[in-house]
Amino acid sequence: MKPARAKRAKATTMKKTTTTRTSSTTAKSGAAASKLIDARIESLGDWRGETLAKIRALIRQAAPDAVEEWKWRGVPVWSDSGIICTGETYKDTVKMTFAKGASLDDPSRLFNSSLDGNTRRAIDVHEGDRIDGTALKALVRAAVALNRAKKAKPTTSWEAKDVAPYLGVMSIM
């Protein structure tokens, strides 16, 4: 009698399906997102639209390489090597949420919301509030620098030693 052989699991690959939607709920970036943000500013038609436009201009000045995105069912997002901040609009508030705000120095004390969390920090702007453009640009630049620093993580010595033979390098240590 022959011993029973274990059946091999059949390897299957699944094709990732992508769909293209034209609705404003789909995440977009670049020119498409910029047009949606333009439309949001125009549709608000009050102090919130003016405030969002001013915030956007300050972000563009501070981080000219930032990419504008449209996420989470209509939230403007600015990114450079990671999310810098969002620009949410509510009935009585325009909120800028900095994704890694808790890790940023805020000497001008712009952060006035979401202060208890370990990661995010926010700036709530209400009608009549003055925006300190110089301080906000410094905060945006700091957020970009933090994102870029985290993205360009240095390799450890053991990683470099392990990959060196595969790169045709004799010894790098």
How do the domains of the chain map onto residue ranges? 28-151
In this predicted structure, what is the pLDDT of residue 154?
60
Which among 101, 48, 104, 95 has a CA at the least distance from the CA of 75? 95
Q: How far apart are CA 105 and CA 44, in angstroms?
A: 32
Look-up of token digits 């989470």: 72
Q: Where are any strands of DSSP class E within 12-82?
A: 28-29, 67-71, 75-79
User: For 113, which DSSP code?
Assistant: B
Please, what is the average pLDDT of the chain?
A: 81
Per the model's pLDDT, the better-predicted residue between 99 and 22 turns out to be: 99
pLDDT band for 9, please (50, 70, 90 cuts). Answer: very low
Which numeric CATH code is attached to 28-151? Answer: 3.90.1150
Report the predicted TM-score, pTM, of the whole model to 2 decimal places: 0.72
pLDDT of residue 106: 95
- Give pLDDT, residue 72: 85
Dihedral angle, C-alpha 47, 52, 55, 57, nearest 10 °: -110
